[in-house]
Chains A and B, each alone.
Chain A
Amino acid sequence: MRAHWTMTPAWWPLRWGLSSRIVALSLLLLLLVQAAVFSVVRISIEQSARRQVAQELQVGERVWRRLLDQNAQQLRQGAGLLAADFGFRAAVNSGDTATISSALENNGARIGATITGLVDTRLALSALGEADDAVELRPILGELVGPLSRDAQSSQVALVGGIPHQFVLVPMKAPMLVGYLLMGFPINQKLVDDMRAISDMHLALLSDDGGERGRVVVTTLSPEALQMLKQSGSDVAELPDHGDTLIARSVKLDTGATGSVRTLLMRSLNEVVAPFRQAQVALAWITAMGVVLFGIGSVFAARRVTTPLRSLVGATQQLGQGQYDVPMEHLDRHDEIGGLAKAFDQMRINIGAQQAEIRRLAYWDRLTGLPNRARFREALQREIDSQGAVAGSGRGNISVVMLDLDRFKHVNDVLGYSFGDLLLVAVSRRLTQQDLRDGDMVARLGGDEFAVLLSLSDANSALAVAERIAKSFEMPLVIDDQTVDLSAGIGVACWPMHADDADTLLSRAEVAMYAAKSRTTGIQLYDPVLDSSSALTLSLLTELRQAIDHDELRLFLQPKVRLSDDAVVGAEALVRWQHPVRGLVPPLEFIPFAEQTGFVRQLTLWMFDRAARMSRELHAQGFALRLSINLSTRDMLDIELPSRLEEILQRHAADATAFCLEITESAIMDDPQRAQATLDKLSQRGFTLSIDDFGTGYSSLAYLKRLPVDELKIDKSFVMNMQADDDDEKIVRSTIDLAHNLGLTVVAEGVENGVILEQLRALACDEAQGYFLSKPMPAEALVPWCRRRHADA
């Protein structure tokens, strides 16, 4: 936590959202504007303050002069009163110089005049106060008295003894004008203090005389500022003073023979700016408030944009999660947000519709309108989950009935795909017409494969449903004036008896279904034995593999005898399993299993390999026997079969014509096109081809005609019964006739006695095979058997 804090300040937004950016930009712009206003205000304050100071200094000069005038007025009044004083007048008119001087001194002192003189009517100095020095006064007397006598209200400032004095002249009357009283008053601290009090200005009274320029006589400046003034010289326009600036204006009061007197008026810039500073502070406050209000305002404004955006983002995220039923917010807005929301909402509706269509395509079969495999599987899984959640004995069973139409490919091939489609629809109708309960489901898993989900149904009730279905199929379908017999392999599997989950249950039902088809039993309940993927099957498969590896399989041969001359012309190759523990395992116990698991292909190759080797031995010993090897359905579907056989032939330097390949009808009919292709190749190679178990399947002779077949092998069920059953005898007879008419050789199996043999011989059957002639024997026993038979004959 601490490390995080040090890396990124907490207040710093990790991600600048739109809202933050809007607010930051607004505030930045506002601050820029305010900064500009501030600087303009500051500059104009400075300028206007200086202007104001300059004006104030102008006014100050007038005030100062006015103050001097008023002072002079007061002095004049005082002097006037003095001049009118009878005693004073009497003394002055006494004619005694000493008395006059004394009276001037004394009376002048009364009103604060330091210089008192008497001037006659011709403006000549006639007497001075006792303490006054005529030498100093006399040079400036003319300058003083002339203007003063001309203007009774005026005053004059002059330096006397280095000190500025303000002089006034008042007439002396007795009662007529007899002379003038000249009085000089030093300009003192009180006067400049008064000025400072009136005008808020600082004053410095400067004297410029011959010896010294800018001598400060009196001032209101602080000692520090005075020091600064002395350093800067008396002609400064601005004087720094403790962070303040004093703007100065020089006011000339008088220039006389003894020097000139100036007043330096100084105004503090800060004092003038102070009220503006308050305005600036107010402006700063307004700015701060403005920033806050603006910030709040833009936050709200931004929220007004970003909040709906956020909710739209949330809504689109919901869309992304597949929730299409919640309408967008802000649809009623008429701004861009509203437009966006409407566009999103339209998108939601469209996507929802498309999604529904996709789901329909994904979960429903278009042809039949039934749920498809995916939906069926989901429903099954859901059912299993809900039942699995129920504990103990209350748990119900779930069954799956799976069915696959027989010969549907054939129907498609013969009657066309559109007919096949109609057939599928009709089948789906039959299935849905079954008495199903809620929670049950009929689905088309694909092709001609259908399934029924039966919830709360155990194996028995499921088998009952399967029976009903099978029964409903007994009624032929009429489609487009064509009557079609329906039949199907039906497999049943139950949960939890046969599988723990939906996929396994489906595959188990499928296994049962294929078992039903291959055994033509109609309906088959799942049995682990059936299942190549069950544990039992796996162990059997392993053992069978080991059987090849450990050479536990044995090649057996059953001879075929030509009926025309009783010569042994061939033998059928059969396999026996010499199990190390179980002994000799009969073929029925592992061949069907091998066919189911596909292991039969290895078996076939093994057989052919051994048969090829055997064939060479037989030929070597002078027995040109043709060996027959059975091919399974799986073999027929293996497109590599011809090349594998060819490889074995080459290995043993054997000839294909020495072999007959026996194929059952059903092996061909499972996929007639591929079967024909394979058969064509094998025939071209020179193999003799034989139809095994003929008569049990549904193949028509018309179809067989197209195949490159050389031989028919009549199923032993007919042959064994032909002695007792006339029908079977007729079948055998007509089959022989038919085959001969098609140019095929006929082989009869299941010849168990001499009567049958003779019957067959009478029917012109070509070859015979059976227990009466010989049981299957180990391959190595064939040559002795042949020799023995030859010898017997």
Chain B
Amino acid sequence: MIVRIVIFGVLALAMARAMAATVQVQVHDNNGKPLADAVVFLESREARALTKPLQGAEMAQKAKVFDPTVLVVPVGTAVVFPNRDTVRHHVYSFSPAKSFELKLYSGVPANPVVFDKAGIAVLGCNIHDAMAAWVVVVETPFFGRSGATGAVAIQAIPAGAYRLRVWHPSLAVGAAAIDQALVVGAADVSAVVRLAGASAP
């Protein structure tokens, strides 16, 4: 995988330790188009220590579609799978990150699913083959998801050396997120990531 990182702006080294910065990442696909639903997260040892489960994470099913399609959660987050359809769903994942199965149910299952291992869990519905969703379990509190413009802004990033990771569902199954070093100082950082192997819908 080839990742080219272009860094714009000026690093404010003086403010590096004392102040938190915002990392602005613009994600493009293989063709240079803005890529929505790309998961961007920054990893570091310090960040992992700061990781704590997210409350109220939810992967709803509505109109036979998972909502959201891509959900990013820190390790240990319990995700609820409310069924907002009138039909029942059978949500499952065979992914090594989290293998589980919610057998035919309606409404909100009693027990949320705790994603206790970093990785990517691909979710499907055994009743509706067309339904697919991804839960990206990260060991960092600094993560974001690109919007329609392909832009992600992760705020309050302490200065430090990070691994900038970018992933998108259109990458091959089992493929890991791309990995790029990123040093965050006092100033905001902007990065443009071109994700080879991914393509906007």
Contact = CB atoms under 8 A, between A and B. Distances in A.
Contact of B92 (A86, A121, A176): A86
Contacts of A121: 172-174
B130 to A, nearest CB: 8
Given A175-B125, A175-B132, A89 B94 contact: yes
Contacts of A176: 122, 124, 132, 169, 173
Contacts of A177: 173
Given A89-B94, A178-B94, A173 B129 contact: yes
Nearest to B125: A175
B126 interface: yes
Interface in B157-184: 169, 172-174
Contacts of B123: 175
A93 interface: yes
Contacts of B173: 121, 176-178
Given A84-B129, A86-B126, A93-B99, A174 B172 contact: no
Nearest to A175: B124
Contacts of B174: 121, 178
Contacts of B99: 93
Interface in A160-200: 173-178
B71 to A, nearest CB: 15
A176 B124 CA distance: 8
A178 B92 CA distance: 14
A84 B124 CA distance: 12
Nearest to B123: A175
A175 B92 CA distance: 9
B118 interface: no
- Chain A interface bracket (under 10, 10 to 19, 20 to 34, 35 or more): 10 to 19
Given A90-B94, A93-B94, A175 B172 contact: no
Interface string A69-107: 000000000000000101001100101000000000000
Contacts of B169: 176
B196 interface: no
B131 interface: yes
Contacts of B96: 95
Interface string B103-147: 000000000000000000011111001111000000000000000
Interface string A114-157: 00000001000000000000000000000000000000000000
A56 B92 CA distance: 53
Nearest to B126: A86
A89 B122 CA distance: 14
A93 B123 CA distance: 14
B104 to A, nearest CB: 11
Contact of B131 (A89, A90, A175): A175
A83 to B, nearest CB: 11
A89 B96 CA distance: 14
Contact of B122 (A84, A86, A175): A175
A557 B47 CA distance: 216
Nearest to B174: A121
Contacts of B122: 174-176, 178
The listed residue with most B CB atoms (<10 A of its CB), out of A89, A90, A93, A175, is: A175
Of B90, B92, B93, B101, most A-chain CB atoms within 10 Å:
B92
A89 B126 CA distance: 10
Choose among B93, B94, B122 the residue with the greatest number of A CB atoms under 10 Å from its CB: B94
A84 B127 CA distance: 10
A575 to B, nearest CB: 174
A455 B22 CA distance: 179
B88 to A, nearest CB: 14
Q: Tell which of B101, B131, B174 has the most Cβ of chain A within 10 Å.
A: B174
A86 B89 CA distance: 13
Nearest to B122: A176
Contacts of A90: 92, 94, 101
**Residue in B95, B131, B169, B173 with the greatest tally of chain A CB atoms within 10 Å:** B173
A503 B34 CA distance: 158
A32 B94 CA distance: 86
Interface in A31-84: 84
A138 B96 CA distance: 27
A86 B92 CA distance: 9
B81 to A, nearest CB: 15
Contacts of B95: 174
A176 B122 CA distance: 7
A460 B43 CA distance: 189
Contacts of B172: 121
Contacts of A175: 122-125, 129-132
Nearest to B103: A86
Nearest to B132: A175
B96 to A, nearest CB: 8
Nearest to B124: A175
Contacts of A174: 92-95, 122, 124
A415 B124 CA distance: 168
A118 to B, nearest CB: 13
Contacts of A89: 94
Nearest to B173: A176
A178 B173 CA distance: 6
A177 B125 CA distance: 14
Nearest to A179: B173
A595 B138 CA distance: 189
A177 B172 CA distance: 9
Interface in A502-548: none
Contacts of A178: 94, 122, 173-174
A541 B41 CA distance: 186
A174 B124 CA distance: 6
A177 B170 CA distance: 11
Interface string B12-53: 000000000000000000000000000000000000000000
A90 B90 CA distance: 13
A178 B131 CA distance: 15
Nearest to A84: B129
A486 B172 CA distance: 169
Given A121-B172, A121-B174, A173 B124 contact: yes
A84 B130 CA distance: 12
Contacts of B126: 86
Contacts of A84: 129
Contacts of B130: 175
Contacts of B94: 89-90, 93, 174, 178
A174 B121 CA distance: 10
Nearest to A178: B173
Nearest to B131: A175
Interface in A290-320: none
Contacts of B90: 86
A84 B125 CA distance: 11
A94 to B, nearest CB: 9
A89 B169 CA distance: 21
A60 B81 CA distance: 56
Interface centre among A89, A176, A177 (most CB of B within 10 A): A176
A175 B121 CA distance: 11
A80 to B, nearest CB: 11
28 contacts: A84-B129, A86-B90, A86-B92, A89-B94, A90-B92, A90-B94, A90-B101, A93-B94, A121-B172, A121-B173, A121-B174, A173-B124, A173-B129, A174-B92, A174-B122, A174-B124, A175-B122, A175-B123, A175-B124, A175-B125, A175-B131, A176-B124, A176-B169, A176-B173, A177-B173, A178-B94, A178-B173, A178-B174
Given A90-B94, A175-B124, 6 more contacts: A121-B173, A121-B174, A174-B94, A175-B122, A175-B132, A176-B122
Question: Top 9 nearest A-B pairs by Cβ distance?
Answer: A175-B124, A93-B94, A175-B132, A174-B94, A86-B126, A176-B173, A176-B122, A177-B173, A121-B173
